[in-house]
């Protein structure tokens, strides 16, 4: 595959686009496979294996706290790899971040339990979680930018959706693997079965490296690098040149990222621990919602190419607010098909409606010489406030309310309304020029060719 920057423009081979989209999707699939299996393990087994001395409810809080720790490393990963992604290129950073996330995840599957090494077990777990978060801080942003900067004019939303689709594939694969290992007898599951999903991540790492090494640098980066020198501090320049974009990204992450983790992680724990329903039944609801998201994400993304990023994103945020109480009411019926419906509405419609158009939207909010750093750093700052604490805060609110989920529903509504306001004040970008350096140009049409 070749993508050559010339004075006359950039030449794209049609056959290269499929490989580029696959390179975007496979890394995201690995990153979110890793994060989802960690979140699932935190919901189902980590309280018993790594915090056995604590009350079960407090142990669950501690397990979710280790889940949140990884998010504090993500902005630093976004800062470091975003800096070099804007100065050196998108492709090298995609390879490095893929390795970091994959190796950390594989090693988590080898960590001995508290019964074997005592306090060192949760310490090692937290350290590997930090390493995982550091690599993940730029993995998704880089994958999105790679796809969007290759996309044909007028299809950035659809092409950008390959990274979110990869995320959903990773979630789906993780839920499927966990659904299989939970069929083991409880003793075997706790002894070694939970480790299998972590160790299997090595397969995705090998596949991702093979694909990503074979693709060329993005045509937008190659063309801009030929015309202008890279900036010395891209992330700082992104904050200085695109202050509104920075705030829009952070605010719009609240519902998309917070609910993207709250429903499949806390929701899974709520159905299993609080409602005392079988693990397999709850996991099927998560799997079904993720499977349907494979269709709804590209649909919402393609719709954003036609009507704009903001209407689609805003509509999904408001739907998520409206779905907060129905989600728990449906779960409390304890009827399997209604629980599945609850997860479908939450993930396949609410979260997917934000997650799909978000890829192109965030890329379009920043100029090409600060895009990687601005996108990754701002997005991961939002993760600290949203996805990281969401399962922990939801579990705490549930415990404080005596097992009733209504304060969690209020929390969901607050996150959704913050996102709605952030998107409302942001610019529309779907018809803008992605090669523009000036922040005000993101909302202007690209020049006619």
Give residue limits of the domains in the chain. Answer: 15-443
Q: Take residue 257 and report the two structure tokens written for it.
A: 């990222």
Residues ≥6 apart with Cβ < 8 Å to 239: 246, 374
What pLDDT is recorded for position 27?
77
- C-alpha 287/C-alpha 283 separation (Å) is 6
pLDDT at 12: 46
| Structure-block tokens of residue 152 | 């044909």
Contacts of 385 (CB under 8 A, 6+ apart): 250, 253, 254
pLDDT at 57: 66
Tell me the β-bridge partners of 4. Answer: 11
Q: What's residue 60's pLDDT?
A: 67
Give the C-alpha separation, 349 to 296, whole Å. Answer: 7
Residue segments in the chain with a per-residue pLDDT below the cut of 50: 1-15, 439-449
Torsion sign (Cα): 404, 408, 413, 416? negative
Answer whether 22's CB lies under 8 Å from 207's CB: no
| Beta partners for residue 379, in sequence order | none
Distance CA 273, CA 281 (A): 13
CATH class of 15-443: mainly alpha
Task: Tell me which residue has tokens 């922040």.
Answer: 439
pLDDT the model gives residue 371? 94
What pLDDT does residue 55 have? 61
**Residue 410 confidence (pLDDT):** 97
CA distance 100 to 73: 12
């Amino acid at each position: 595959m070749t993508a050559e920057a010339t004075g006359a423009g950039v030449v794209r081979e049609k056959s290269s686009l499929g490989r580029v989209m696959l390179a975007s999707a496979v890394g995201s699939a690995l990153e979110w496979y890793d994060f989802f299996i960690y979140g699932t393990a935190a919901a189902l087994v980590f309280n018993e294996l790594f915090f056995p001395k604590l009350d079960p409810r407090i142990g669950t809080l501690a397990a979710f706290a280790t889940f949140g720790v990884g998010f504090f490393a993500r902005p630093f990963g976004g800062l470091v790899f975003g800096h070099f992604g804007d100065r050196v290129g998108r492709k090298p950073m995609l390879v490095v971040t893929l390795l970091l996330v994959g190796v950390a995840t594989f090693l988590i599957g080898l960590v001995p339990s508290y019964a074997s090494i005592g306090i060192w077990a949760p310490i090692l777990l937290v350290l590997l979680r930090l390493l995982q978060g550091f690599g993940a801080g730029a993995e998704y942003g880089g994958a999105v930018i790679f796809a969007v900067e290759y996309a044909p004019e007028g299809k950035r939303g659809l092409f950008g959706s390959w990274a979110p689709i990869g995320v959903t594939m990773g979630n789906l694969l993780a839920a499927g693997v966990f659904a299989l290992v939970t069929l083991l007898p409880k003793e075997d599951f706790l002894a070694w079965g939970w480790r299998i999903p972590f160790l299997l991540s090595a397969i995705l790492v090998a596949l991702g490296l093979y694909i990503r090494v074979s693709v060329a640098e993005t045509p937008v980066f190659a063309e801009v690098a030929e015309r202008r020198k890279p900036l010395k501090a891209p992330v700082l320049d992104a904050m200085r040149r695109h202050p509104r974009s920075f705030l829009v990204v952070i605010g719009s992450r609240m519902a998309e990222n917070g609910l993207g983790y709250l429903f499949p992680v806390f929701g899974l724990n709520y159905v299993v621990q609080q409602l005392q329903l079988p693990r397999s039944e709850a996991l099927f609801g998560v799997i079904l919602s993720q499977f349907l998201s494979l269709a709804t994400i590209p649909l919402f993304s393609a719709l954003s190419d036609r009507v704009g990023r903001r209407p689609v994103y805003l509509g999904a945020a408001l739907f998520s607010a409206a779905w907060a109480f129905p989600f728990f009411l449906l779960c409390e019926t304890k009827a399997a098909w209604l629980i599945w419906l609850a997860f479908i509405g939450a993930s396949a419609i609410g979260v997917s409606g934000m997650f799909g158009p978000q890829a192109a939207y965030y890329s379009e909010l920043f100029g090409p010489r600060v895009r990687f750093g601005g996108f990754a750093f701002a997005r991961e700052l939002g993760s600290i406030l949203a996805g990281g604490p969401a399962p922990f805060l939801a579990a705490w609110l549930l415990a404080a309310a005596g097992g009733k989920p209504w304060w969690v529903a209020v929390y969901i509504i607050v996150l959704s309304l913050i996102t709605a306001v952030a998107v409302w004040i942001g610019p529309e970008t779907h018809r803008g020029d992605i090669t523009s350096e000036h922040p005000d140009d993101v909302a202007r049409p690209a020049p006619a060719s």
